[in-house]
Each structure stands twice: as structure tokens, then as C-alpha cells.
Structure 1
Amino acid sequence: MNKLLLLLATFSLSAGATSAQAPLKKAKVKTEASKAKHTPKTPEQQADHFTRQLTQKLALSTDQAQRVRQLNLAYQQEQQAAKAKYGTDHKNPAKRQEMKVLRDRFETQLRQVLSADQAAKYAQLREEKMQKHGKGKEKLKAKS
């Protein structure tokens, strides 16, 4: 009888210790589908995606959508050239300056295509995106 109680007590203690352990995380296996999802897009694909997004969110006309795509395609190609020129050094001041100039020029040209209401909505969307990704004025204030 004592052996049975001892065996039962040992079993209950080992079961309790086993269930207290944290569950193991599954190892992420990169499949072909997940790799394809993160492959770099061509400037044409990026321009098409941007145009679709703006057309949906800002209700662009057909003419506006066409002009936005042309502007964005040129911007994406210039950006790609700058990235090739400077490589992967993200902290290079010359690269950062050139990218800023390209972005500012694109934004100015884009605002000329959009109506006043569309430009205001676009500015709001950009601000929300920057806040979502931790960029913008709040990040700068936190540093100072």
C-alpha cells in the first residue's frame, strides 16, 4: 500500500512539474511563399501599388491616377539609382540628403496633381503612417 501511495505521489509531482514548463515555440520555416512575399519589387510594381492605394484612398480620377503613376515611377527609378550609387550604408549623409531631395520633389509634384481636399487627406495619411512606424515629430521630441 505504501509503495502505491509513493508511486501515486511521485506521478502527481512529475505531472505538475511537466505542465508548469513553458510551451516550446514552433520554429519558423521559411517557405517559398513567404520568400516570394518579401522579394524586392521593381519600380513599376511599386508605382502600380502606390497608384492603386492612392486611387482607392483619395478617389483619384483616371487622369490623376495616370499622372500619379508616372510621377511615382520616375521617383522609384531615381530612388533605386541613388540606392545603387551609395550601397547599403543607411547613415551616409550624402545618401540621406539625396533621398530627402528626391522625396521632397516627389511630394511637391504630387501635390500639384491632387486637389486641395485630396492633398489634405494625403498629408493626413502620411502623418498616420509616420506615427504608426515610429517616425516623425514625436520621435524627434523623444530624442531631445
Structure 2
Amino acid sequence: MKKLLVLLAAFAFSTAAVSAQTTPVKAAHKQHQKGSKSAKTPEQRADHAAQSLARKVGLSAAQTEQVRQLNLARFQELQAKRAQVATAADKKQRHQALKASKDRYEAQLKQILSAEQYTKYAQLQAEKQAKHKGRQEQRKAKS
């Protein structure tokens, strides 16, 4: 009888130890789940993008506000286009519209930033694109 109780107690303790060793989900990981970007308003996204660009390329307060206004208009436009995505069937047409929107944004941003700041911005975008392509290639290799 004693041996049975000792075995039951050992089993209970080992079960408790195993269940206590689960890894917690990080809060930062939860932010990057699909759909979390759409939860932000265009105003919040514009503020975040302007502050981020200000840190990365060293914008003045006036430039930061201009970039914020530019981003606000862009994000509002993108939000309206997202609503149309469900109705539009032509993927190529949507792609061309988004590319035209991005080109307009880049041209307006170039007017706001100095030559040195725009060069740094372009370099950051190129690095971001290269990193994205690298991840795509890794996913294709896994498949």
C-alpha cells in the first residue's frame, strides 16, 4: 500500500513539473499576428510611421508633421482601397493602383526630405526589401 501511495505521489509531482514547463507566449509576438495592423486607425498608423521615420533619418519637427500628414492621407486612401479589394476581382489592376499610390507617396516624400535624408530613407527601404525577399526565399525552400 505504501509503495502505491509513493508511486501516485511521484506521478502527481512529475505531471505538475511537466505542465509547469510550458513556454509562455510573448506579448510582442501577439502584436504581429495577422489583423493587428488593421486594428489601428489611420491616425495611429500615421503617427507611428512619422515618429519611426523621424528617428531613422533625423527629421525636424516641421518635417515630422508634414510626413505625418502625408502618411495620414496615404493610410486613409489605403483603408478605402481595402474596402474595395473585396469587390475588385482583377489582381493586376489592384497591384497597379497600389504601385501608383506608392510612387505618388515617394515623390511627395522626396519633396519633404532633404537629399541626404531621402538617400538614407531609400537605403533603409532597399534593406527592408532585401530582408523581405530573403524571407520569401526561405519559405519557398522549406516548401
Distance (whole Å) between structure 2 residues aligned to residue 117 and residue 85 of structure 1 = 37
Q: Does 1:95 align with 2:94?
A: yes
- In the other structure, the counterpart of 1:121 is 120
1:18-38 per-residue CA deviation (whole Å, 9 max, x = no partner) reads xxxxxxxx698798x926975
Unaligned runs of 5+ in 2: 1-21, 138-143
Distance (whole Å) between structure 2 residues aligned to residue 79 and residue 113 of structure 1 = 21
Distance (whole Å) between structure 2 residues aligned to residue 27 and residue 91 of structure 1 = 44
Distance (whole Å) between structure 1 residues aligned to residue 101 and residue 60 of structure 2 = 25
Within-5 A mapping of 1:1-144: 34=30, 39=36, 40=38, 41-87=40-86, 92-134=91-133
* 1:60 aligned counterpart, secondary structure: coil
Unaligned runs of 5+ in 1: 1-25, 140-144
Distance (whole Å) between structure 2 residues aligned to residue 108 and residue 78 of structure 1 = 16
Q: Bigger relative contact order, structure 1 or 2, given CA contacts below 8 A and separation 6+? A: 2
Identity %: 45
Distance (whole Å) between structure 2 residues aligned to residue 52 and residue 76 of structure 1 = 15
Determine if contact 1:90/1:96 at 8 Å carries over to the other structure. Answer: no
* 2:133 aligned counterpart, secondary structure: coil
- In the other structure, the counterpart of 1:20 is none
TM-score by length of 2: 0.66
Distance (whole Å) between structure 2 residues aligned to residue 30 and residue 125 of structure 1 = 27
Give the drift of 1:115: 0.2
* 1:134 aligned counterpart, secondary structure: helix
1:27-83 per-residue CA deviation (whole Å, 9 max, x = no partner) reads 98798x926975222211111111111110111001000000000110111111111
Determine if contact 1:82/1:98 at 8 Å carries over to the other structure. Answer: no
Distance 1:87 1:120, change over 3 A: same
Distance (whole Å) between structure 2 residues aligned to residue 88 and residue 129 of structure 1 = 31
Give the drift of 1:88: 8.7
- In the other structure, the counterpart of 2:3 is none
Aligned length: 111
